[in-house]
Amino acid sequence: MSSAGRAPQPEDRRQVMAAIDLGSNSFHMIVARYEHGQLTVIDRLREMVRLAGGLGKDGRIKRDAAERALQCLGRFGQRLADIAPENIRAVGTNALRKAKNASDFLSEAEYALGHSIEVVSGREEARLVYLGAVHSIPDQVGSRLVVDIGGGSTELIIGQQLEIHERISLYMGCVSLTEKYFPNGKITAKRWKRARVAASLELEPITETLRQQGWEGAIGTSGTIRTTQAVVRAQGWSDNAITPAALASLRDHMLAAGNSGSFGLEGLSTERAPVFVGGVVVLQAVCEALEISTMRAAKGALREGLIYDMIGRMSDEDARDRSVRSLQKRYHVDGGQARRVEHTAMMMFSQVKADWQLEDALSRELLTWSARVHEIGLGIAHAQYHKHGAYLLEHSDLAGFSNRERHLLATMVLAHRRKMRSAVFKALPSPWSKRLIYLSALLRLSVLFHRSRTNAALP
């Protein structure tokens, strides 16, 4: 059996990692082994779920779409059985950011997968996409523009090597544009023009920002762009890249076909064909707005970025720690007081973690981070500073944090002084409704012990 098909052996357990991307169009999973500084993908799974297409007019995920997703996750979960839980990350993107019943769906989805699922913000999705893309292409001098067209959103990132200079997420994707402007798969010049105008208007506010940053090369990721490159190459419209001329030829071909079921394009799968037109419209609008003459597809994207982000966390290069340090600096946190509170909180944590069932990694991390940033609200005003701090955390762009992690951290900062409101904790998903009460109590006690803001020994 080839390495791509075999299940990980027990001795591989600590080196094998898995990343699951619950995209708006497709669900993806990769399984990879990391050893001796090298990452080797040993398995890939992909299913077209079209979660974004399953959003009803009321903004809720329809039951048939939810069932497709849950069945897929159940199959993914079987593949995860032999992988250490700490080496698995699963994230949801635009469709789960938008769905009004996302919380209910996630409870079912986590049960089907057998693992927690994080919903990430658009900008965090962009960071992970960039991380996956740059690791999959040769090192180059100069900056790159990375474009990722998903089912419900489009991410644009400019960076140089591993440093990101700009990251933007827009609310348009191959599924959303196809459904709105090309219902029933019918393609006309009038519909194409309306879709292009809509995409261009979405791009207009951020075009100048990206142009001012500048870049030396344009890279595309994910299904729409990889498929487009394969199609234009197969048709002879371009040798090995996506160009404006190749996109114009593709547009003419699609208009001549008149229907998404009649493309007859080599390199285009029957699964992707129904939503391909919306993705091509977005891609053409991006290339025109940013004057991109050549774009090449990269193999890496969000799921590969998740793997590399996990590797960073294992090697003390956690993006979340960098975000916390940035907050401390931005809001002029008293470092000495933060260290005192953290030291005492962690000392108490070590004594109670087993009895209070707080032995998971995130509980420790949340207590550490909350001690470091519990006073950021003082940068606004002393009165009600715990509320100011919670608001800043809830609404800040914190690289590395999922929406849930950011909310849990904000809740702890809110609860570290004044009244602890039970409703705040009851609204949290299990098991955090109980865990966060314990963690907040530890933070509150530590803050009280160090109210004098000195290094005096505790009794």
312-320 long-range Cβ contacts below 8 angstroms, 24+ apart = 318/400, 319/127, 319/399, 319/400, 320/365, 320/369, 320/398, 320/399, 320/400, 320/401, 320/405
The pLDDT assigned to 188 comes to: 97
Which CATH number is 17's domain given? 3.30.420.40
On whether residue 109 sits in a domain, the answer given is yes
Which CATH number is 202's domain given? 3.30.420.150
The pLDDT assigned to 369 comes to: 98
Question: Which residues are CB-neighbours of 16 under 8 A, at least 6 positions away?
Answer: 8, 31, 32, 33, 42, 82, 83, 84, 87
Q: Are residues 65 and 79 in the same domain?
A: yes
On whether residue 2 sits in a domain, the answer given is no
The answer to whether 222 touches 301, Cβ cutoff 8 Å, is yes
Q: Are residues 145 and 256 in the same domain?
A: yes
Looking at 69, 91, 118, the residue that finishes a domain is: 118
The answer to whether 26 touches 46, Cβ cutoff 8 Å, is yes
Q: Are residues 270 and 373 in the same domain?
A: no
Q: Are residues 243 and 283 in the same domain?
A: yes
Q: How many domains does the chain have?
A: 3
- List C-alpha distances in Å: 112 to 74, 88, 207, 234: 5, 15, 41, 39
What pairs with residue 18 in β-bridges?
A: 31, 88
Cis (ω within 30 of 0) for the bond into 431? yes
The pLDDT assigned to 195 comes to: 98
Q: Are residues 71 and 132 in the same domain?
A: no
On whether residue 454 sits in a domain, the answer given is no
Q: Are residues 54 and 148 in the same domain?
A: no
The residue segments making up the domain with residue 92 are 10-118
Please give the Cα distance from 49 to 26 (Å, whole number): 5
pLDDT tens for each residue of 79-135: 999 999 999 999 999 999 999 999 999 999 999 999 999 999 999 999 999 999 998
Q: Are residues 52 and 166 in the same domain?
A: no
On whether residue 457 sits in a domain, the answer given is no
143: left (phi over 0), alpha (psi -120 to 50) or beta: beta
On whether residue 458 sits in a domain, the answer given is no
Looking at 54, 85, 118, the residue that finishes a domain is: 118
* Main-chain phi, psi angles of 21, to 5 degrees: -115, 110
On whether residue 313 sits in a domain, the answer given is no
- List C-alpha distances in Å: 91 to 98, 260, 344: 14, 30, 33
Neighbours of 141 (CB within 10 A): 7
Please give the Cα distance from 168 to 170 (Å, whole number): 7
Q: Are residues 417 and 402 in the same domain?
A: yes
Kindly write down the DSSP assignment for every residue of 230-287, as one continuous string.
HHHHHTTS-SSSB-HHHHHHHHHHHHHH-BGGG---TT--TTTHHHHHHHHHHHHHHH
Which CATH number is 337's domain given? 1.10.3210.10
Q: What angle do CA 68, 277, 135 make, to 5 degrees?
A: 75
**Residue in the structure block whose two tokens are 């000495």:** 336
On whether residue 1 sits in a domain, the answer given is no
Q: Are residues 280 and 359 in the same domain?
A: no
- In one-letter notation, the amino acid at residue 345 is A
Looking at 305, 340, 365, the residue that finishes a domain is: 305
Residue 129: closest CA among 224, 36, 214, 65 = 224
Residue 46: closest CA among 76, 7, 5 = 76
Q: Are residues 148 and 259 in the same domain?
A: yes
The pLDDT assigned to 141 comes to: 65
Question: Which residues are CB-neighbours of 330 under 8 A, at least 6 positions away?
Answer: 376, 379
Neighbours of 165 (CB within 10 A): 13
Neighbours of 31 (CB within 10 A): 24
The pair of structure tokens assigned to 152 is 């419900």
The pLDDT assigned to 353 comes to: 97
pLDDT tens for each residue of 19-55: 999 999 899 999 999 887 788 999 999 999 989 889 9
Q: Are residues 159 and 173 in the same domain?
A: yes
On whether residue 3 sits in a domain, the answer given is no
The answer to pTM > 0.85 is: yes
Residue-by-residue pLDDT tens, the chain, 459 positions: 333 444 444 435 568 999 999 999 899 999 999 887 788 999 999 999 989 889 999 999 999 999 999 999 999 999 999 999 999 999 999 999 999 999 999 999 999 999 999 999 999 999 999 999 998 888 766 899 999 999 999 999 999 988 999 999 999 999 999 999 999 999 999 999 999 999 999 999 999 999 999 999 999 998 999 999 999 999 999 988 999 999 999 999 999 999 998 999 999 999 999 999 999 999 999 999 999 999 999 999 999 999 999 999 888 789 999 999 999 999 999 999 999 999 999 999 999 999 999 999 999 999 999 999 999 999 999 999 999 999 999 999 899 999 999 999 999 999 999 988 899 999 998 899 999 999 999 999 999 999 999 888 877
Q: Are residues 333 and 217 in the same domain?
A: no
The pLDDT assigned to 457 comes to: 80
Q: Is 11 helix (H, G, I), strand (E, B) or coil?
A: helix
The pLDDT assigned to 165 comes to: 95
The pair of structure tokens assigned to 276 is 């391909």
